[in-house]
Amino acid sequence: MTLADSRPRTQGPARGRPRSEAVEHAILEGVMKLLEEGVPLAELSIERIARTAGVGKATIYRRWNGKEELFVDVMRAAEPPDPELPGTSMRDDLVVLLEALRRRGLMNRTSAILHNVYAQMKSSPRIWKAYHINVVNPRRELGKEVLRRGQRNGELHADIDLDLANDLFTGPMLLRAMMRPDDELPEGLAEQIVDSVLAGLRPVSSPQP
């Protein structure tokens, strides 16, 4: 379900000319195209999007209540599909998940969109929530499911807080990918993080105060 239908459609049975899916697609593609061309998100006016998509402004407002709502759908469209998990072990699955996160941070399209669209949305709690429900939470659940499987086969303590554990893996990678985009996101980073978190940083010997 997209947000595109958020505007009121008075009744049940379809009346009048139905909305064109082609138009919907053209709009989303138009936004993508502009973002890929390097247009800063701040310069993405509805007016310009409409011009690019060859569409009337009202046609956009008919579907979305404003820029933010539109952007939620753009994000969903830009979001790469869930990675395929090897299933060989929890550790390997986690590496694949983080690796997907790393790559997403590098991809031009998603990066341009995520890093900025994402930002804009925070100003509008309604949208932020929609994005979380539709995009973020499913991903988080995927991660927790991997951890749960790890608990079942003994790779992870059974009594650990899964949300916290998930954040321990995801947080460092996101921190790198989102706050230090210019920094290197080296190939082995996902493995490093997963293994470090699993092993812990404490030295074998106890500290000498």
Partner DNA sequence: GCCTAACCGAGACGGTACGTCACGTCTTTTA
Partner DNA sequence: TAAAAGACGTGACGTACCGTCTCGGTTAGGC
Q: In terms of Cα–Cα distance, which of 162, 189, 196, 188 is closest to 174? A: 189
* Amino acid code (one letter) for 147: L
What gap in Å lies between CA 77 and CA 162, rounded to an integer? Answer: 28
Paired tokens of 164: 């916290």
Nearer to DNA, 37 or 43 (CB): 43
With CB under 5 to 8 Å by kind, the binding choice for 38 among DNA, its own copies, none is: none
What lies within 8 Å, CB to CB, of 204 at 6+ separation is none
What gap in Å lies between CA 180 and CA 102, rounded to an integer? Answer: 12
Backbone angles phi, psi at 205, to 5 degrees: -75, 155
Nearer to its own copies, 5 or 107 (CB): 107
The distance of closest approach from Cβ of residue 55 to DNA in the complex, given in angstroms and rounded to an integer, is 4
When asked if residue 19 is in the footprint of DNA (CB under 7 A), the reply is yes
Paired tokens of 152: 């079942």
Nearer to its own copies, 1 or 199 (CB): 199
Instruction: Return the residue of 12, 16, 203, 209 that touches DNA, per CB under 7 A.
Output: 16
The DSSP secondary-structure symbol of 175 reads: I
The one segment of 56-64, 75-83, 101-109, 132-140 that binds DNA by CB under 7 A: 56-64
Q: Which residues sit at the interface with its own copies, rule CB under 8 A?
A: 40-42, 89-90, 115-116, 118-120, 122-124, 132, 136, 150, 153-157, 160-161, 164-165, 167-168, 170-176, 179-180, 192-193, 196-203, 205-209
